[in-house]
Amino acid sequence: MNNKPYKRVLLKLSGEALMGNDSFGINRSTISNITSEISKVFDLGIEIAIVIGGGNIFRGVAPGAQGMDRATADYMGMMATIMNALALQDSLKCIGVDARVQSALNIDQVVEPYIRPKALRYLEEGKIVIFAAGTGNPFFTTDTAAALRGAEIGAEIVLKATKVDGIYSSDPKKDPSATKYSNICFDEVIVRRIEVMDATAFALCRDHNLPINVFSIYKENALKRVVSGENEGTLVHI
């Protein structure tokens, strides 16, 4: 297990994390708190890339998307991630953190396309890179995009930011006796079908020996403790 600070990390941030207590959309106070936590890590000199989901935006149109072709709905979800990425970039800018958005879908008037060498250069220059639009392909989740981009940029770990502070033996909201794992191996997570990330993302990280840490983005300084190599959340490893 790592007990040293990481140098380059990939943060997977769900769209739902931006909602706060709202039913959908972006809660300004919540996104400000999240960017504050990110800035604490940025100030340590750690290179940060972020993959963001779009569930909070898409949730507002989900009733109208029922029965829609899956590929079409997935493309709508990808565009929702671009909206979230722009909101996150703006929130970071407001606190003096330089961030760039790269999209797997080409919308040149709004964001630049994903180009791996340019993303690496931004990280080396001390900028945060936000990856939007998932992998650019339907049927693949933003969790899988996080695993893919993490491998592509040479991240040392994927940080899965959630509303809970780790992986439990059962749903802690329904089962008060649920126990939290401090660490668990990829094979066990896949066999037991633990749904904190999809199986494709877990398998991709396992195949590239890319550990995952599941933690609560709402817990103050939790992100900072994770990247500093402290025991926080649940570590998924080979």
Tell me if 123 is assigned to a ligand binding site: no
Tell me if 74 is assigned to a ligand binding site: yes
Tell me if 144 is assigned to a ligand binding site: no
Tell me if 165 is assigned to a ligand binding site: no
Tell me if 229 is assigned to a ligand binding site: no
Tell me if 98 is assigned to a ligand binding site: no
Tell me if 200 is assigned to a ligand binding site: no
Long-range contacts of 32-36 (CB under 8 A, 24+ apart): 32/91, 32/94, 33/218, 34/88, 34/91, 34/161, 34/217, 35/88, 35/91, 35/92, 35/94, 35/95, 35/97, 36/95
* DSSP 8-class letter at 127: -
237 three-state secondary structure? strand
Cα 203 versus chain centre, distance: 17
Answer whether 158's CB lies under 8 Å from 210's CB.
yes
Residue 199 tokens, joined = 């199986």
Tell me if 159 is assigned to a ligand binding site: no
Tell me if 42 is assigned to a ligand binding site: no
Tell me if 69 is assigned to a ligand binding site: no
Tell me if 55 is assigned to a ligand binding site: yes
Tell me if 137 is assigned to a ligand binding site: yes
Tell me if 114 is assigned to a ligand binding site: no
Task: Look at residues 238, 201, 186, 226 and name the one whose alpha carbon lies nearest to residue 14.
Answer: 201
Tell me if 15 is assigned to a ligand binding site: yes
> What is the distance between the alpha carbons of residues 39 and 204, in angstroms, rounded to a whole number?
28
Tell me if 160 is assigned to a ligand binding site: no
Report the run of H or E that residue 77 belongs to, with start and end: helix 70-94
**1 CB-near residues (< 8 Å, 6+ apart):** 183, 235, 237
Tell me if 67 is assigned to a ligand binding site: no
Tell me if 136 is assigned to a ligand binding site: yes
Tell me if 81 is assigned to a ligand binding site: no
Tell me if 59 is assigned to a ligand binding site: yes
Binding residues for UMP, by number, are 54, 74, 135-142
Binding residues for ATP: 12-15, 55, 59, 162, 168, 171
Residue ranges for the known binding site are 12-15, 54-55, 59, 74, 135-142, 162, 168, 171
